[in-house]
Amino acid sequence: MAAPIGIPAIVLAGGLGTRLRSVISDLPKPMAPVNGKPFLHYLFLYLHRQGVTDVVLSVGYKHEVIRDYFGEVYDRIRIRYAVEEEPLGTGGGIAQAMSMVDSDAIVLNGDTFFDINLATLYKFHEEHGADISLALKRMYDFDRYGTVDIGNQERVLQFQEKEHRAEGLINGGVYILSKDLFAKAAELDGGTLPQKFSFEKDILEKHLLPLHYHGCEFDNYFIDIGIPEDYSRVQEDFK
């Protein structure tokens, strides 16, 4: 295990797994079995190896299944639960979880695995004085993901819609968020944020210019289990 990174991680584990319904039936997507263990188990192994000791799970759909499996401590990581009693959107879910921590936080998607060094991303975040730092992955010949354009000082300039590209940087689903991010966004929106909102549309895209978003490129292993082909591939990759 690495030395403790010093900030908590928020894992977004509220997804329904609609596109995987044919293979995982009626489970939250992060509970999709991979070689007999939930996909989320492998994220905890990764976080433990990275020195994370405190995790907030942002949960909604069938959250009892997740709590029953992982409990309050898993792989020596303390776990707290930010439960959405009704869907809050990605933004509302993250904001609710951020209200439970008192520092900057790592945020990870519960259905992707991007094997980056979190300490490197956090150092990048601090050096750039960023409001959000994104871990980016260079992909080739793809149409499944939107892309991220970066400029000087790795400043994020634009988020591009999904379309076929020969090459581009994608958002790898791992972020560092500054503790005051949502307070800054609320101020830009006239003082308050709605309870339910989209992180991608209402934070990343809407406040791209006034806030400071920076992207750090990593060449590490990446997989998104959101479609059956990659869910099948991860069984082999994680053996």
Strands of the sheet with 105-109, listed across from one edge? 73-74, 77-83, 54-59, 9-12, 105-109, 165-177, 132-142, 213-218
Q: Quick: pLDDT tens for 23-48.
A: 666 788 899 899 999 999 999 999 99
Residue 151's pLDDT is 95
- CATH number for 9-237 (one of 3.40.30.10, 3.90.550.10, 2.60.120.10, 3.40.50.300): it is 3.90.550.10
Residue 108 in this model has a pLDDT that exceeds 60:
yes
Residue 16's pLDDT is 62
Q: What is the mean pLDDT of the chain?
A: 93
Q: Quick: pLDDT tens for 44-71.
A: 999 999 999 999 999 998 899 999 999 9
Whole-prediction pTM: 0.95
